[in-house]
Amino acid sequence: MSETLPATTLDRGALAALRLRLAAPLRARAGEADAPQAPRELLVCAGGACISCHSVAVADALETAVAASRLAGQVRVVRVGCMGLCEAGPLVVVSPDGVYYQKVDGDGARRIVEQHLVGGQVVRELELAAEVPGGERLTGRRVPFFAQQVKIALRNCGVIEPTSLAEYVARDGYLALERVLFELDADAVIDAMKRSGLRGRGGAGFPTGMKWQFVREAPGDEKFIVCNGDEGDPGAFMDRSLLEGDPHSIIEGMAIAGRVVGARQGFVYVRAEYPLAIERLGQALAAARAAGLLGRHILGSGFDFDIEIRIGAGAFVCGEETALLRSIEGKRGTPQPRPPFPAQQGLWGKPTLINNVETWAGVSPIILRGAAWFAAIGTARSKGTKVFALAGAIRNTGLVEVPMGISLRTIVEEIGGGIPGGRAFKAAQSGGPSGGCVPAAAADVPIDYESLQELGSIMGSGGLIILDDRTCMVELARFFVEFLVEESCGKCPPCRIGTRVMLNLLEKITKGEAGPADLDTLESLGRHIQRTSLCGLGQTAPNAVLSTLRHFRTEYDAHVGEGRCPAGQCKALLTYTIAAEPCSGCALCAKACPSGAITGEIKHVHTINQDLCIHCGACLSVCPTDAVQAV
Amino acid sequence: MNARNETVNAERALPARPGEPLDEAAEPTTVELIDAYLRDHPGGGERLIPLLHRAQEHLGYLPFPVIRLIAGRLGLSPVQVFGVVSFYHFFTTVPRGRYQLKVCMGTACFVRHAGAVVEAIHDTIGIGVGEVTADRLFSLEQVRCLGACGLAPAMMINSDVHGHLNRTRVRKLLQGLRAQAKKADAVGADHE
């Protein structure tokens, strides 16, 4: 099904014909319909993480193996966007069979072609499978990781070739834009966005329809549409995967909004750290322009709209909307006081509609399937689905899209496959450096914007870092505050100075030099920073500290009162010893020790002189027999 | 590396770059590159960041003569342009190494002990974050999440991602690169 579109522009008839011809095979590829007659295809994940695991070489190996087999010319290898299960990458799917193969290498690629495609036998050793309680072996889309998900924003990721306009169109792409251009009036679209209950997926959760209305009603003959793709939260990679896996969905959402609010120019602001996203978005923009879906007189409607890419330059604060707009203008990305909001005075002082990548991706499904359909998913005040990036101490690292209101326990234990290494689930850190920690005790709370806020965290962009019992919560808070000290733009003192003082206090605590009064100072300082900072970065900067103080106070107390780190992570508080039993006398620790604290004869038990020990932990990391212990 | 550190580093690096005094003009090819960009993209000050990207892509870093040149072309003061350069982590006024090490300090990597990776690099080649080895073979930076959370802790060396790192793997990786560079240089010398 290799589709090359004619170089001329498309009209509505051509788009309809394309959908009619390609929709069924693509539905089969997505697993939405049984279509045994659909062509055999090998889908290879070409998302960022799988490429790091050499999935491009796997795709090449599959092509070579197919060409050498009797199926030459009959099976196409499709490089699709992120399928989500990064842990098992590189992933290969045999379509329409729906058989998933994990951790495929060059040899695996040959076996898939020879044994499965030619021989008709599934390669069991490589097949993605999950044992569920009751002994049943689930495979393919039935593994809990996929079965529990509801894909709206990610509907095309892992299904279509990301830059293929034809494949996007065949998945009802640009159909919503057609409706908005020719059938619906602007107020009806805004009304649908409002009734859907969609809220900004960048973190703050502002109702999208209301934002659109403000910009529509703002006076001015020049307005702008902006996509915030400055995904700075460490641990979040949904915007990246969307831009890499389905760039046309962002373009379509922005064009729809352009029509509705009366804007002719859009900007997508993407991080410089995401070269692949920039490349694929650029290709998609060029294809849309060539087809007449961007540019002048779109589809003969008289509506003009075009989009430019703006590349960020590595500043976390640029994820804040006013800072991002300053950055597009070519200035230092420092936030501005609001009001005026960007809806009134944004880019170059003109009304500007700015939404996150994931929000844009959700626009066309709402218009096509209706506000009621979207509003039926989720909780009372948080509708639809949310994409989370699962990482940290979890078996299935990756990207998942789940209905709002799902419990953390379902995400961790069923979709995430639990905690590896027999460790205990301690907490989940949501919302990146601006977020907080949700303790395991609250794992059954339905997740939405409000419930996370009540727990002292935020939804944020959707990064979800799972922590096991070896994570020290004080050290984690220190890590985030250190991040924010470096990323604070320096404009307002509460953030610039306050985060630095918080970091100093946290360093004192992790070194065992703090007193009980320091914890009170930390808490009241945090509240001051929350209240007095100019922008979202500063207002949320103390969240990591305050939420861990609230839920894990005993850990702080152990550091301060007993000079002890219960998780065994704060090096200065640990005492290193060598246990006689497993010590093989290899002397690696003595060689590694920078302070000469370890002595002993080869093949005999070594000992650590506590007076000389500087608590660096070098011995612990080199010991091959785990004889070095830190308590 | 925050903005203040970067300025300090830039100043420190200046005397170490003989042959490049502050007043020296930018290379003609750089001037041509910048002028070509401005010709193709009519507009105003919003072109500054794309232009800095273009110049850094070409030179590997942003030396002061280039900052001065860009400022002049856009009608800005050099200090305004330097203010933008120092604000964004991506821009650097210091040349980087032949092998650019970028250790991921995202949360997932942090939870899986990325700190030990930085320590191991320091122990092996003696540089800390923001520094370059004297032979300009290696430079070390921290980055915020490579999006390779499944491979944590991870590091990027030029454009390759290396995952599941520990002290031993880091040491072997760097020693391997050093040997490789030595070999490549030796081969190059033989051919000359």
CATH architecture classification, A473-562: Up-down Bundle (1.20)
What ipTM was reported for this prediction? 0.86
* Alpha carbons A13 and A6: distance in angstroms, whole number: 14
CB–CB of B52 and A313 under 8 A? yes
Contacts with A370 (C-beta within 8 Å, 6 or more apart), sequence order = A192
pLDDT in tens, B87-106: 998 899 988 888 999 999 88
pLDDT in tens, A384-425: 999 999 988 999 989 999 999 999 999 999 999 999 988 999
Q: Could you give the percent of chain B with pLDDT greater than 90?
A: 47
Q: Which of B87, B116, B152 sits opposite A332 (nearest CB)?
A: B87
Distance from CA of A366 to the nearest CA of B (A): 29
pLDDT for the residue numbered A136: 85
For residue A569, give the amino acid letter. Answer: Q
Q: Which of A53, A315, A483 sits opposite B89 (nearest CB)?
A: A315
* B78 and B126 together in one domain: no
Mean pLDDT within B143-169: 83
Tell whether B37 is within 8 A of chain A (Cβ): no
B19 pLDDT band, cuts 50/70/90, is very low
Contact residues on chain A for B147, CB-CB shorter than 8 A = 48-49, 237, 240, 273-274
CB–CB of A333 and B143 under 8 A? no
On average, the pLDDT of chain A sits at 93
pLDDT in tens, A108-162: 999 999 999 999 999 999 999 988 778 888 888 889 999 999 999 999 999 999 9
* B125 and B53 together in one domain: no
Mean pLDDT within A203-220: 95
pLDDT in tens, A574-592: 889 999 888 999 999 998 8
pLDDT for the residue numbered A214: 97
CB–CB of B87 and A429 under 8 A? no
Please, where in chain A does CATH 3.10.20.600 lie?
A: 385-467
Three-state secondary-structure class, residue A278? helix
Would the pLDDT of A199 be above 90?
yes
Mean pLDDT within B26-39: 92
Give the Å distances, CA to CA, from A304 to A252, A350, B41.
13, 18, 20
CB–CB of A479 and B89 under 8 A? no
Q: Which helix (H) or strand (E) holds A307?
A: strand A306-311
Q: Does residue A340 have a cis peptide bond before it, meaning omega lies within 30 degrees of 0?
A: yes
CB–CB of B148 and A486 under 8 A? no
Contact residues on chain A for B47, CB-CB shorter than 8 A = 330
Q: Which of A232, A465, A621 sits opposite B167 (nearest CB)?
A: A621
B184 pLDDT band, cuts 50/70/90, is confident
Is there a domain that residue B93 lies in?
A: no
* B182 and B131 together in one domain: yes
Q: What SS3 string covers A75-113?
A: CEEEEECCCCCHHHCCCEEEECCCEEECCCCHHHHHHHH
Contact residues on chain B for A89, CB-CB shorter than 8 A = 150
Contact residues on chain A for B107, CB-CB shorter than 8 A = 234-235, 391-392, 429, 432, 463, 465, 479-480
* B80 and B119 together in one domain: no
For residue A138, give the amino acid letter. Answer: L
CATH classification of A385-467, choosing from 3.30.9.10, 3.40.50.970, 3.10.20.600, 3.30.420.40?
3.10.20.600
Name the residue in chain B with its Cα closest to that of A318: B88
pLDDT for the residue numbered A569: 86
Please identify, in words, the CATH class of the domain defined by A574-630.
Answer: alpha beta
B143 pLDDT band, cuts 50/70/90, is confident
Would the pLDDT of B14 be above 50?
no
Contact residues on chain A for B151, CB-CB shorter than 8 A = 49, 52-53
B159 pLDDT band, cuts 50/70/90, is confident
pLDDT in tens, A461-476: 899 999 999 899 999 9
Is there a domain that residue B10 lies in?
A: yes
Last residue of a domain, one of B49, B65, B87: B87
Is there a domain that residue B94 lies in?
A: no
For residue A520, give the amino acid letter. Answer: D
Q: Could you give the percent of chain A with pLDDT greater than 90?
A: 79
pLDDT for the residue numbered A86: 87
Mean pLDDT within A502-518: 95
Last residue of a domain, one of B87, B120, B150: B87
Name the residue in chain B with its Cα closest to that of A329: B46
Domain that holds residue B131: 99-191
CB–CB of A391 and B152 under 8 A? yes
Distance from CA of A87 to the nearest CA of B (A): 5
Q: Which of A53, A235, A621 sits opposite B108 (nearest CB)?
A: A235
Would the pLDDT of A497 be above 70?
yes
- Fold classification of A19-143 is Glutaredoxin (3.40.30)
Q: Which of A316, A330, A485 sits opposite B144 (nearest CB)?
A: A316
Mean pLDDT within A266-275: 91
Name the superfamily (CATH) of residues A165-373.
Answer: NADH-ubiquinone oxidoreductase 51kDa subunit (3.40.50.11540)
The domain total for chain B is 2
Q: In chain B, what is the straight-line distance between the N-terminal and C-terminal CA atoms, in Å?
A: 40
B3 pLDDT band, cuts 50/70/90, is very low
Three-state secondary-structure class, residue A199? strand
More confident of the two residues A114 and A4: A114
Is there a domain that residue B14 lies in?
A: yes
pLDDT for the residue numbered A7: 56
Please, where in chain A does CATH 3.40.50.11540 lie?
A: 165-373
* B82 and B118 together in one domain: no
Q: Are A430 and A463 in contact (CB under 8 A)?
A: yes
DSSP state of A338: S
Q: Are A202 and A324 in contact (CB under 8 A)?
A: no
B16 pLDDT band, cuts 50/70/90, is very low
pLDDT in tens, A279-336: 999 999 999 999 999 999 999 999 999 999 999 998 999 999 999 999 999 999 999 9
Contact residues on chain B for A595, CB-CB shorter than 8 A = none
* Alpha carbons A134 and B157: distance in angstroms, whole number: 45
Q: What phi-psi label fits residue A349: left (phi over 0), alpha (psi between -120 and 50 degrees) or beta?
A: left
Q: Which of B1, B143, B147 sits opposite A240 (nearest CB)?
A: B147
CB–CB of A312 and B90 under 8 A? yes
Would the pLDDT of A38 be above 90?
no
Would the pLDDT of A87 be above 50?
yes
A33 pLDDT band, cuts 50/70/90, is confident
